[in-house]
Chain A
Amino acid sequence: MGLVRSGVIGRISAGGLALMLLLAVLAFAASVGETAIPVPTVIDTIANHLWDAGNAVNAIDAGIIWNYRLSRAVVAAACGAALAVSGAVLQALLRNSLADPYLLGISAGASTGAVSVVILGLGAGMLGLSLGAFLGALAAFAFVTLLAWQAGRGTSAIILAGVAGSQMFNALTAYIVTKSASAEQARGIMFWLLGNLSGVRWSDAWLALPVVVVGLVVCLWHARALDAFTFGRDSAASLGVPVRRVYVVLIATSALMTAVMVSIVGSIGFVGLVIPHAARFFVGNNHGVLLPLSAVIGALFMVGADVLSRVIVPGQVLPIGVITALIGAPAFALILCHGRVLR
């Protein structure tokens, strides 16, 4: 509440600060890699591209920074922000601290959708990878909600249904891959499914950025409605929240954000689950502050994880999903014991 009451100026300056921090980390991420490039060179390159600053920069360095590392860092940031915001929204709506796009099968469904388009050629070239992932995400979520509904609608029912749903969709993905993909395709797909930013280019960034910005704005627009869910669905309704509409809009938004990210980088666990809890630890439960902070922490975390994935094993790039889980799981354990967020 303290942050909320500090007014508009306080909010704008906090937002500005967070944005600057994010830009600094992006620049740092672009400087780290097989060939280390100093941060000033990175800044010169960005200036050249954004407003033709005409700085003298080695063309190879400039190429590496702009075409490979920066696009990659931007996608990582967008992806982290999107997953963290989706997690925060799902946790609030479903009244369950374990809710996240990964656990609820949305990621698994998106993977199945993406794989069906790429390998089976579903939609005969009319469906893009992202649209396929989105449809898969919605199908998985519909399946999970239906199952949870039948099982009694309780808060634990949705998690159990989510586990069943993700297992099923992961199995479907594995089935499609082993049955129809060539050996090389299969290896590539498996690597991609674990989360992989290697092939990412600017075209991906121009898809990811608008999605995360629009998604965040939509969720922020409903921040007070999310607050009103504190004491459950009926309580939200009695506080004047159009419960059904909010459900549909926000779950579709989360599913869309997750689907687009999965279609670009594969499914990445733990970000959507852990980051919102970490953010809550700092600012409490007010979604007007919680959502932007989750986005920022998620972005920073993913960019950091991407840097780690590139440098931790010399000469090799680890799937980023491995890093997020390796850091995320112990971090989650720490929050669990220290903050008692779950009961």
Chain B
Amino acid sequence: MSIELRNVAWSVGFKKIIEDVSLAIEPGEFLGLIGPNGSGKTSMMSVLAGIRPPSGGQALLNGSAMKKVGRRNLARKIGFVEQQADTIDRITVREAVSLGRTPYLSVLSPWSTRDDAIVDDALCAVDMAAMADRMWQTLSGGEKQRVHIARALAQEPTYLLLDEPTNHLDIRHQLGLLELVGRLPLTVVAALHDLNHAAMFCDRIAMMAKGRLIAVGRPVEILTPENLRDVFGVSASVDVDDKGRCVIRFQTSITTLSDIKEGRVA
């Protein structure tokens, strides 16, 4: 059981967005996808989710090409939460989560009590059961994100794919959300902006730059001062604690106001 990319390329018109990416997702892991803006993280997520067919190479689910597996079957295996999916429709939290049952429903197999139970479980898993009847528009950013995850969980997936799930959340909700996702008994792939979060929560990190996958490995192997300098263009020191977890301290060359006040700069 795995998602695998083999020499995948994806382009818009003549512009190559991602190029020659090979990556195998291991069952049960939490894989973080990092890289500077425009490095192709979002495109990579949609190729992994099977939404965009690669223009070169192969995207495989359990050994067979995603295209052959079919949209509906993919949706039963892979839950995908986009970066910013919003709606102007007036729907309740429960209705939004119920959408996750779409790949299992058809005219011949209509909504059943089992679907109700699965939606209830999904709501509980993200701690939103008490807000099931709230309108979508009244939710905060963090709540909306949890509802999206519940919708993906209602698909009963093996894989959960998240594209920058912590965008626009305050720090408490960022950590809360990542903890929640980490606790789920699923294989998780998340594109993450905050490198310290990637260090804290991920089993493995895949690093992208200019549309290419340049390194995959444990956080300590990837988050090195050299990589941070070469790929992200920042200078930083990395502390590794006795459990092998790393914390990044970013250094700045920007002059601060207090430097000027206290006469440290001319």
Q: Which residues from chain A sit less than 8 Å from chain B, CB to CB?
A: 1, 4-5, 95, 97, 221, 224-225, 227-228, 230-232, 234-235, 237-242, 280, 284-286, 339, 341-343
Complex: chain B residue closest to A341, CB-CB: B90
A221, A227, A242, A343 — most chain B CB neighbours (10 Å): A227
B90 adjacent to A343 (CB under 8 Å)? no
B92 adjacent to A1 (CB under 8 Å)? yes
Contacts A221-B107, A237-B71, A284-B91 known; list 13 others, CB within 8 Å.
A1-B92, A224-B105, A228-B99, A228-B102, A230-B87, A231-B85, A232-B87, A234-B46, A234-B82, A238-B75, A240-B75, A285-B90, A342-B88
A240 adjacent to B85 (CB under 8 Å)? no
Q: Determine the distance from Cα of A240 to Cα of B51 in the docked complex, in whole angstroms.
A: 9
B222 at the A/B interface (Cβ < 8 Å)? no
Name the one of A224, A235, A280 contacting B85, with C-beta atoms under 8 angstroms.
A235
Complex: chain B residue closest to A236, CB-CB: B102
B102 adjacent to A240 (CB under 8 Å)? yes
A230 adjacent to B91 (CB under 8 Å)? yes
B220 at the A/B interface (Cβ < 8 Å)? no
B145 at the A/B interface (Cβ < 8 Å)? no
Q: What does the 1/0 interface line of B78-105 toward A look like (CB < 8 Å)?
A: 1110100111111110111011101101
Q: A1-B92, A4-B111 are in contact. Are A239 and B155 (CB under 8 A)?
A: yes
B49 at the A/B interface (Cβ < 8 Å)? yes
B75 adjacent to A231 (CB under 8 Å)? no
B72 at the A/B interface (Cβ < 8 Å)? yes
Q: Report chain A residues within 8 Å CB of B75.
A: 238-240
Complex: chain B residue closest to A231, CB-CB: B85
Q: Report chain B residues within 8 Å CB of A241.
A: 71, 102
Q: What does the 1/0 interface line of B234-258 toward A look like (CB < 8 Å)?
A: 0000000000000000000000000
Complex: chain B residue closest to A5, CB-CB: B111
Name the one of A224, A232, A286 contacting B95, with C-beta atoms under 8 angstroms.
A286
Q: Report chain B residues within 8 Å CB of A339.
A: 90
Chain B, interface size category, equals 35 or more
- Chain B nearest Cβ from A35, distance in angstroms: 46
B88 adjacent to A285 (CB under 8 Å)? no
Q: Report chain A residues within 8 Å CB of B99.
A: 227-228, 230-231, 239
Complex: chain B residue closest to A1, CB-CB: B95
Q: Report chain A residues within 8 Å CB of B98.
A: 1
- Chain A nearest Cβ from B133, distance in angstroms: 9
B76 at the A/B interface (Cβ < 8 Å)? yes
B125 at the A/B interface (Cβ < 8 Å)? no
Q: Determine the distance from Cα of A225 to Cα of B75 in the docked complex, in whole angstroms.
A: 13
Q: Report chain A residues within 8 Å CB of B111.
A: 4-5
- Chain B nearest Cβ from A74, distance in angstroms: 28
Complex: chain B residue closest to A239, CB-CB: B102
Q: Report chain B residues within 8 Å CB of A232.
A: 82, 85, 87
B169 at the A/B interface (Cβ < 8 Å)? no
Complex: chain A residue closest to B103, CB-CB: A240
B74 at the A/B interface (Cβ < 8 Å)? yes
Within 8 A of A (CB), among B31-86: 46, 49, 51, 71-76, 78-80, 82, 85-86
B102 adjacent to A227 (CB under 8 Å)? yes
Name the one of B72, B88, B94 contacting A240, with C-beta atoms under 8 angstroms.
B72
Complex: chain B residue closest to A220, CB-CB: B107
Complex: chain A residue closest to B88, CB-CB: A343
Q: Determine the distance from Cα of A237 to Cα of B80 in the docked complex, in whole angstroms.
A: 10
Q: Determine the distance from Cα of A1 to Cα of B91 in the docked complex, in whole angstroms.
A: 9
Q: Determine the distance from Cα of A17 to Cα of B89 in the docked complex, in whole angstroms.
A: 28
| Sample of 16 A–B contacts (CB below 8 Å) | A1-B92, A97-B88, A224-B106, A228-B99, A230-B89, A231-B99, A231-B148, A237-B71, A238-B80, A240-B71, A242-B71, A280-B90, A285-B89, A285-B90, A341-B88, A342-B88
B155 adjacent to A284 (CB under 8 Å)? no
- Chain A nearest Cβ from B121, distance in angstroms: 18
Complex: chain A residue closest to B155, CB-CB: A239
